[in-house]
C-alpha cells in the first residue's frame, strides 16, 4: 500500500512538471505538439546558461522559466530550432556550440523520454468536484506519444489514443444520492459505500460494482442491485477511454444533509411551485425526495429525465391548506407527462397527498428577485458581475413543517433602495484628487481602498468602519503595520472616513429583517511598478478596545479577534525560528488507518482541548445565536507551542454576533483553557512523542526536485508494475524524507462551526 501512495506522489510531481518550467513545442512534419519535459532542463549546465542569458536582473530569477523552446524531430534526430521569451527570439549563441552539427543544434545531451501531446485536453476526473473520479488525476490528451531518446537520437516511439464522451447529467453524484434507497443499501450494514459505474461506449451502464468497507459486494447483493437500478435510470454516463480501455466512474453519492443544502441553490432553475391562499410561490426545497423510501416509488417514471439543470428529474406542485402540506401534482421534467399520485400513495384516487413523510424548513418566494443590484470596482451599479445577494425574493415566507403539519410561518418583506449616486461620484473624485504623496509611506504607490458602511433604514450612515488601504512596498520592508493596534491613528484613515461621511444617503438593502452592511471597494491611484520588486501591503483600521489583559479588535462587520497584549511580541520572537506543521507518527497506509488516526494521541488531545475550550456554556450560547439569527457562527482558537510541548501563546477569532452576547468571563475562560487550564501549560509528553514538527528549507526542496526527476525517468516502469523501480524510488523517497528539517515551533487551530436553522 505504501508503494501505491508513493506512486501517487510521483504522479503529482509529474503534474507539477507539466505545468512548470519552459513551454516546449515539437514540430513533426506539419504537426506541432507540446512536449514534457523541456529537454534543456535535463542538463543542469545548459539550464544555468539559459537562465543567465534570460535574466539580467537577479531579483527576477524566479521568472526565468517563462520561455518557449521550439524543437524539431527529423529523420529520428531531435533538433533545437530556437528559444523565445516575450515573443522575441533569445540569442543562444555560445551556449550550444558544442552540439552543433552541420549548422544545426542536435540534442546530444538528452537521453530519456519525452511526452508529446496533441488534440483536445481533458481531465479523466471531474474537475469541479472530487465526488466523481474517473481513472488517474493528471490531464490527458486525445493524442499522447512517448518518444525515447539516447544522445538525441530516437530509439522508441509509443502512441496512445484517448477519448472523452461527456455525459448529459453532470450532477449525477447528486442524482445518485437522491435515487438510492438508503434503507435498502444500509440494511444490516454501515453506510460507508463506494459505487463504481462501468459504462459502455455509448454511456449506458454495463455493470456496477459496490464496495462496502473495502469489501466488494456480490452482484446479487441487494445493495448492488439497488445501485445498478439507479445507475440505469440515469442512463447517460461519462465515458473516458484511455489507450482503448474504458475507465470506471467512482460515484460518491451526495449525502442527504448536503443534498438538502444544495436544493436551495438548485431550486432557482426549476423550482417546485406551492399554492397558498390563491397565490403561487416558488419553493427552495424538494419535499418529494426528502424521504428515499417515498421517492423510490416514483423514480421508475423518471428514466432519462435527469439533466445537469434538473438533476432531480421531475416537477412537483404543492399546496398548503388546513395547516398541512399537500402534494397535488408530479410531472416528468423531460417529457412533461403526469405521474399518477397513486404511485406516491398507493390506493389514492387522484386526490392531493398529505406530505406526512416530510419534516423540515423551507422558504417560499414571490414578487421577483432582488439579485439585480450589481457592483463594479467603484461600488456602483453595472450590467455584469457578482450580485450582492443572490436569490432573495421581494416577499419570502419561511415555513416549518413537522410530519406534514405546518407549525410555523414567518413573512419577510425585502427591498432595496438606491442611494445618492451624484454624491458618491464626488466622494470618489475627492479621494483621487487628494495629495497622497504627502505621506512618505504612500508616495508613488498604488492605492486601493475598501471600507464598510452600516446604513440605517433611511440610507443615512450609522457609521463607517473597517477601513483598509492596500498599497505596495519594497520586498525587504517589515510588515509590522498589519497589526491590530487599536491605539494607532493614521491621518489618511480619518480622511477616508470624513470623505465617506459626506455622502448623505447610501444604498439600503433590507434583507430578512435587517439592513445589511455594504463593503465599498475602489482604486484610488494606479502607477506602473515592478511586480518583482514590490508586494502588496495592507494598512488596516481595526477598531476595538483594551481590557486589563487582552485586546479586542473588530476586524470587520462579521468577525472579532481577541488576543493577549503581549501576543505580537511573543509571536514575532517565534517567527525568528522555523515554524512547521504537525506530522502524525505511526499511522500506516493500510487497513485500519482511519481507526488509528481517530485514536491517535494527538487527535485525542485535540478533541479534549476542543471539549474544554468550547465547554462551560459556549456551545449552548453559540448554537442559540446561530439558530436565532439563521446564520453560521464560527470560533477559531490558534495555539502556539514549542517542540517540548510548552504552550506559548494563543489568539481567538469568533463571529461578531456571538461575541456581542458571550459574557466577558466566558471568553477569558476559553483563553485559560486554551493555555492548558488546570492541567498546566504543557502538552503531555506521550502526545508530543506521537508527532513530528516538520519544516521546509532549500536543501529539502532540492531533494524533492531530484526525486521528481527520478520519478519521471521511471514512470513507465512504475506504471507497468516494475517492483524494482518502485522499490528504488521508495528507498530514495524515504531517504529524503529522513532529511526533512525539524521545526522549532508549531501551531494548532481548535475550530468550531455552528449552523443556524432557517
The model's pLDDT over 158-189, given as tens digits with 9 standing for 90+, comes to: 999 999 888 877 788 778 878 887 766 666 56
pLDDT value, residue 81: 92
> What beta strand segments (E) does 253-404 contain?
273-276, 279-283, 314-321, 324-332, 353-354, 360-369, 393-402
pLDDT value, residue 720: 58
At which residue does the C-alpha cell 481507526 appear? 595
Count the residues in the chain.
758
pLDDT value, residue 451: 85
Write out the three cell numbers for 500: 465617506
DSSP string of 608-644? HHHHHHTTTTHHHHHHHHHHHHTSEEEEEEEEEEETT
Write out the three cell numbers for 424: 458618491
pLDDT value, residue 268: 67
pLDDT band at 255 (very low <50, low <70, confident <90, very high): low
Asked if 601 and 224 count as a contact pair (C-beta separation under 8 A), the reply is no
Residue 338 DSSP class:
B
pLDDT value, residue 543: 66
pLDDT value, residue 319: 95
pLDDT value, residue 715: 65
d(CA 170, CA 308): 5
Predicted confidence (pLDDT) per residue in 7-49, tens digit: 333 333 333 333 334 578 899 988 889 898 889 888 888 888 8
Neighbours of 56 (CB within 10 A): 7
pLDDT value, residue 389: 41
Write out the three cell numbers for 314: 421531475
Predicted confidence (pLDDT) per residue in 415-469, tens digit: 888 888 899 989 999 999 999 888 887 887 888 888 888 899 999 998 887 788 8
Integer-rounded Cα radius of gyration of the chain: 31
Sheet strand arrangement including 415-417:
415-417, 508-511, 514-515
First to last CA, the chain: 45
What value does the mean pLDDT take over residues 630-647?
A: 90
Among 227, 229, 284, 234, which residue's Cα sits nearest to residue 260?
284
Considering 1-10, 147-156, 276-285, 530-539, the range whose residues carry the highest mean pLDDT is 147-156
d(CA 448, CA 468): 8
Among 283, 289, 290, which residue's Cα sits nearest to residue 266?
283
Per the DSSP assignment, residues forming a β-bridge with 70 are 25, 82
Asked if 450 and 520 count as a contact pair (C-beta separation under 8 A), the reply is yes
pLDDT value, residue 626: 87
pLDDT value, residue 138: 63
Write out the three cell numbers for 743: 521545526
At which residue does the C-alpha cell 390563491 appear? 278
Asked if 334 and 313 count as a contact pair (C-beta separation under 8 A), the reply is yes
pLDDT at 78 over 90: yes
CA distances (Å), 34 to each of 38, 39, 162, 622, in order?
10, 12, 16, 55
Angle formed by the axes of helices 664-674 and 618-629, to 10°? 130
Amino acid at each position: 500500500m505504501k508503494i501505491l501512495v508513493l506512486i501517487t506522489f510521483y504522479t503529482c510531481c509529474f503534474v507539477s512538471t507539466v505545468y512548470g518550467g519552459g513551454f516546449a513545442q515539437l514540430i513533426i512534419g506539419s504537426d506541432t505538439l507540446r512536449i514534457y519535459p523541456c529537454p534543456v532542463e535535463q542538463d543542469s549546465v545548459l539550464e544555468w546558461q539559459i537562465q543567465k542569458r534570460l535574466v539580467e536582473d537577479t531579483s527576477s530569477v524566479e521568472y526565468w522559466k517563462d520561455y518557449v523552446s521550439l524543437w524539431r524531430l527529423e529523420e529520428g534526430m531531435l533538433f533545437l530550432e530556437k528559444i523565445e521569451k516575450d515573443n522575441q527570439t533569445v540569442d543562444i549563441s555560445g551556449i550550444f556550440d558544442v552540439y552543433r552539427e552541420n549548422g544545426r543544434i542536435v540534442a546530444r545531451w538528452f537521453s530519456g523520454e519525452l511526452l508529446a501531446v496533441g488534440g483536445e485536453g481533458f481531465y479523466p476526473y471531474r474537475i469541479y468536484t472530487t465526488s466523481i473520479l474517473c481513472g488517474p488525476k493528471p490531464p490527458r490528451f486525445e493524442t499522447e506519444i512517448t518518444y525515447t531518446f539516447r544522445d538525441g537520437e530516437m530509439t522508441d516511439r509509443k502512441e496512445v489514443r484517448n477519448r472523452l464522451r461527456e455525459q448529459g447529467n453532470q450532477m449525477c453524484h447528486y442524482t445518485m444520492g437522491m435515487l438510492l434507497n438508503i434503507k435498502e443499501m444500509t440494511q444490516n450494514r454501515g453506510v460507508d459505500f463506494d459505487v463504481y459505474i462501468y459504462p459502455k461506449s455509448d454511456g449506458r451502464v454495463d455493470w456496477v460494482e459496490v464496495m462496502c468497507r473495502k469489501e466488494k459486494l456480490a452482484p446479487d447483493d441487494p445493495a448492488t442491485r439497488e445501485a445498478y437500478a439507479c445507475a440505469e435510470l440515469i442512463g447517460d454516463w461519462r465515458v473516458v477511454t484511455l489507450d482503448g480501455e474504458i475507465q470506471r466512474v467512482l460515484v460518491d453519492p451526495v449525502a442527504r444533509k448536503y443534498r438538502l443544502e444544495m436544493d436551495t441553490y438548485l431550486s432557482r432553475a426549476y423550482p417546485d411551485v406551492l399554492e397558498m391562499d390563491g397565490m403561487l410561490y416558488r419553493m427552495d426545497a424538494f419535499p418529494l425526495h426528502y424521504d428515499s423510501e417515498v421517492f423510490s416509488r416514483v423514480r421508475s417514471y423518471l428514466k432519462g429525465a435527469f439533466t445537469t439543470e434538473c438533476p432531480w428529474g421531475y416537477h412537483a406542485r404543492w399546496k398548503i391548506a388546513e395547516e398541512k402540506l399537500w402534494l397535488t401534482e408530479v410531472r416528468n421534467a423531460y417529457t412533461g407527462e403526469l405521474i399518477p399520485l397513486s404511485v406516491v400513495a398507493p390506493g389514492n384516487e387522484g386526490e392531493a397527498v398529505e406530505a406526512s413523510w416530510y419534516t423540515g424548513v423551507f422558504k417560499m418566494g414571490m414578487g421577483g428577485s432582488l439579485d439585480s443590484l450589481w457592483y463594479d470596482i467603484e461600488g456602483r451599479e453595472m450590467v455584469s458581475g457578482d450580485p450582492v445577494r443572490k436569490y432573495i425574493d421581494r416577499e419570502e415566507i419561511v415555513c416549518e413543517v413537522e410530519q406534514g403539519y405546518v407549525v410555523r410561518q414567518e413573512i419577510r418583506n425585502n427591498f432595496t433602495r438606491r442611494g445618492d449616486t451624484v454624491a458618491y461620484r464626488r466622494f470618489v473624485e475627492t479621494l483621487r484628487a487628494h495629495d497622497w504623496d504627502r505621506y512618505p509611506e504612500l508616495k508613488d504607490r498604488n492605492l486601493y481602498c475598501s471600507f464598510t458602511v452600516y446604513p440605517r433604514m433611511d440610507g443615512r450612515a450609522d457609521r463607517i468602519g473597517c477601513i483598509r488601504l492596500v498599497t505596495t512596498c519594497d520586498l525587504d520592508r517589515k510588515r509590522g503595520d498589519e497589526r491590530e493596534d487599536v491605539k494607532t491613528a493614521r491621518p489618511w484613515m480619518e480622511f477616508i472616513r470624513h470623505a465617506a461621511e459626506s455622502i448623505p444617503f447610501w444604498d439600503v438593502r433590507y434583507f430578512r429583517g435587517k439592513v445589511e452592511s455594504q463593503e465599498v471597494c475602489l482604486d484610488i491611484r494606479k502607477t506602473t511598478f515592478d511586480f518583482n520588486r514590490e508586494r502588496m501591503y495592507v494598512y488596516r483600521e481595526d477598531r476595538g478596545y483594551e481590557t486589563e489583559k487582552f485586546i479586542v479588535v473588530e476586524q470587520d462587520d462579521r468577525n472579532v479577534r481577541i488576543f493577549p497584549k503581549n501576543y505580537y511580541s511573543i509571536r514575532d520572537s517565534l517567527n525568528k525560528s522555523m515554524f512547521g506543521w504537525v506530522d502524525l507518527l505511526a499511522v500506516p497506509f493500510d487497513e485500519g488507518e482511519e481507526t488509528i488516526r481517530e485514536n491517535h494521541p494527538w487527535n485525542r488531545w485535540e478533541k479534549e482541548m476542543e471539549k474544554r475550550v468550547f465547554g462551560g456554556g459556549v456551545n449552548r450560547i453559540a448554537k442559540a445565536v446561530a439558530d436565532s439569527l439563521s446564520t453560521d457562527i464560527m470560533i477559531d482558537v490558534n495555539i502556539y507551542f514549542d517542540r517540548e510541548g510548552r504552550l506559548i501563546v494563543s489568539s481567538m477569532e469568533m463571529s461578531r454576533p456571538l461575541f456581542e452576547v458571550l459574557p466577558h468571563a466566558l471568553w477569558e475562560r476559553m483563553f485559560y483553557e486554551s493555555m492548558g487550564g488546570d492541567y498546566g501549560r504543557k502538552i503531555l509528553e506521550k502526545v508530543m512523542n506521537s508527532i513530528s514538527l516538520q519544516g521546509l528549507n532549500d536543501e529539502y526542496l532540492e531533494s524533492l526536485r531530484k526525486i521528481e526527476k527520478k520519478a519521471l525517468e521511471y514512470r513507465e516502469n512504475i506504471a507497468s508494475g516494475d517492483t524494482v523501480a518502485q522499490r528504488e524510488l521508495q528507498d530514495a523517497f524515504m531517504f529524503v524524507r529522513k532529511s526533512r528539517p525539524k521545526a522549532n515551533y508549531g501551531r494548532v487551530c481548535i475550530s468550531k462551526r455552528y449552523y443556524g436553522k432557517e
